[in-house]
Structure 1
Amino acid sequence: MPCQGGTLGLLGTVLLALAALPAVGQDYDSSSWQPGQPPSGRGYGKAPQCVDIPADLQLCHEVGYGRMWLPNLLDHDSLAEVKQQAGAWVPLLAKRCHGDTQRFLCSLFAPVCLARPIYPCRSLCQAVQASCAPLMEAFGFPWPDMLRCARFPPDHRLCIAVQSGSSQATPPPASRICPQCETEQKAEGMMEQMCASDFVLKTRLRELQAEGGERRLAAAPKKKLLKRGPLQRPDTRRLVLHMRNAAACPCPQLADLRRPFLVLGRKAGGRLLLGAVYRWERGNREMRFALKFMFSYPCPPRYAPLPGAEQR
């Protein structure tokens, strides 16, 4: 399975005011494909070929098969493009929002080499969406149009079905930690979060009244902006951070508000969304390293944060 050091705040995820991708791929259409023919047709500018799934295609390297069609079912026609765009989805796997997330995504990013294209079933898309879309919403991103479930074939057609035991989403336990608080004090994970964030600051926080299922936190008047991003002066005067879908979930870092925090977030729809929060620890070597190399870390291309997803 892919490593679990990153988080969706990249979701983030990487997994992240980011440049939205143009719509890619097309609605499934395998009726014109003949047995024995590799994929071809709309979006295939190069002659299709069956290639090894590269070891550094982290999203799909251990998906259960070793060869994939290129171009893939999202019209990526080079391995470099596949790896670049698939990388933004790796943090979603780390969140384990659904047991078939990798199966679904890799059926599109790294389709198995068969005589004809096998798309994911619509029910597989719907099951993964039902479990993972709320997590994406917590970071201000809707389910991307490129993964619109109506694009995929119904279950009575030849397609890749749900495998994790149920087509229904499994509700998370009530005590599950808020996704913004599922962070590790590791330098690489912190720098990935910084790549995914519009702004980074050191500040103390004050709890405000929750609204509409959102937890709200006010930054102290005295704060240190480590990465300003799109923040304007009015944003910083009274800086209020919104934690989507977090009114009822616990956040261990915020149990004691007397200490300062390292806060990472995004500006979306005129609001500031908290993406990740860390307790500020002066002697923490991992945090010091991440802050020192924050601007020189080789961030992956920022898509929004997932290819095809418009920010809200």
Structure 2
Amino acid sequence: MYVDFLSSSSRCMRIPRTMALCYDIGYTDMRIPNLLEHESMAEVIQQSASWLPLLARECHPDARIFLCSLFAPICLDRLIYPCRSLCEAVRNSCAPIMACYGYPWPEILKCDKFPVDHGMCISPISDGTSSSRRMPRASCRDCELEEASTSKEILDIFCANDFTVKVRIAKKNMTSPTVSDFDMDSKVEIVKHGPLAKLEIFPKLQRWLDLDATCVQNIMRGTRMGSYVISGNVQEDKVVVNNAYAWQKKNKNLQYAVRKWKHHKCRS
């Protein structure tokens, strides 16, 4: 059951830039311990980072607000909890995505722990109908490594996406799926840059690499490192990867499609 009083150990702290989940959320100071009983900023940063891949999936417009109300509660004279309706809205959209990758909705976020809506809790901001943001489907095949295709099919995929690049990715830690576990070689071979300026591609791909660990893990399939041809779209200020192929000598169709792209004309 929730409580709204402040403990004697409670203190206000600045939300650090290294807390990517909640930095620049709309307020600057948070309470420690937080509503999940994390006692130190180091623990908060570590635990909150594990939610970044889900946030990158944009499973609900209010997911970040809900998570930050718990990880980084605003520093007022009383604790402000998320309303039960906010928890339920985020859970209903995001839990299927989590289950797809083998993660159940955690007990610490069980919605009946939070207060029924009233004036002193954080209620949903979006109404679920007016948002134009596409909700992802709970599909484990989202952002998977593609199997061998014909060169024509690969070229059609290049045409359908905003950009296509060849990158080399290495996994730093084989046991942990959390943020910053991947490195990308700064030498990116651009096949198609679309609306992106060429100098934008590496930093935007680095942001994708840092945030969408689930996608990267699906592509790498447990390997330590590899080269991949990836295609995707530009959404607002970030890139979203839709298709990926392993760059291997045996995939002659992929190599042919990359070579042929410069002279290929897409069907309108």
* TM-score interval, normalised by the smaller of the two chains: 0.5 to 0.7
Which SS does the other structure have where 1:196 is aligned? coil
1:174 to 1:114, Cα distance in 2 relative to 1, 3 A: closer
Measured against aligned partners, the alpha-carbon deviations of 1:28-56 in whole angstroms (never above 9, x if no partner) come to: 122xx3xxxxx21xxxxx72111100000
Any unmatched runs of 5+ in structure 2? Answer: 147-164, 179-218, 224-242, 250-268
Q: Once the 2 structures are TM-superposed, how far is the Cα of residue 190 of structure 1 from its aligned partner? A: 5.8
Which SS does the other structure have where 2:89 is aligned? helix
Residue of structure 1 equivalent to 2:3: 29
Letter aligned with residue 280 of structure 1 = A
Any unmatched runs of 5+ in structure 1? Answer: 1-26, 34-38, 41-45, 198-260, 266-276, 284-312
Q: What is the number of residues matched between the two proteins?
A: 173
TM-score of the two chains, using structure 1 as the length reference: 0.48
1:154 to 1:167, Cα distance in 2 relative to 1, 3 A: farther
Q: Once the 2 structures are TM-superposed, how far is the Cα of residue 195 of structure 1 from its aligned partner? A: 3.5
- Following the alignment from structure 2 to structure 1, what is the Cα–Cα distance between the partners of residues 166 and 124? 35
1:96 to 1:191, Cα distance in 2 relative to 1, 3 A: farther
- Following the alignment from structure 2 to structure 1, what is the Cα–Cα distance between the partners of residues 94 and 13? 30
1:109 to 1:262, Cα distance in 2 relative to 1, 3 A: closer
Q: Once the 2 structures are TM-superposed, how far is the Cα of residue 63 of structure 1 from its aligned partner? A: 1.0
- Is 2:113 the counterpart of 1:151? yes
> Identity percentage over the alignment?
40
Residue of structure 1 equivalent to 2:247: 281
Letter aligned with residue 104 of structure 1 = F
- Is 2:176 the counterpart of 1:195? yes
Q: CA RMSD in A?
A: 3.8
User: Whose relative contact order is higher, 1 or 2, with alpha carbons under 8 Å and at least 6 apart?
Assistant: 1
Aligned partner (choices 70, 89, 100) of residue 138 of structure 1: 100
Residue of structure 1 equivalent to 2:73: 111
Give the structure with the larger helix fraction.
Answer: 2
Check conservation: 1:53, 1:60, Cα contact below 8 A.
yes
Residue of structure 1 equivalent to 2:257: none
Q: Once the 2 structures are TM-superposed, how far is the Cα of residue 62 of structure 1 from its aligned partner? A: 1.8
Give matches, 1:153-192, under 5 Å: 153-156=115-118, 158-166=120-128, 172=135, 178-181=141-144
Letter aligned with residue 221 of structure 2 = V
1:126 to 1:181, Cα distance in 2 relative to 1, 3 A: same
- Is 2:249 the counterpart of 1:263? no
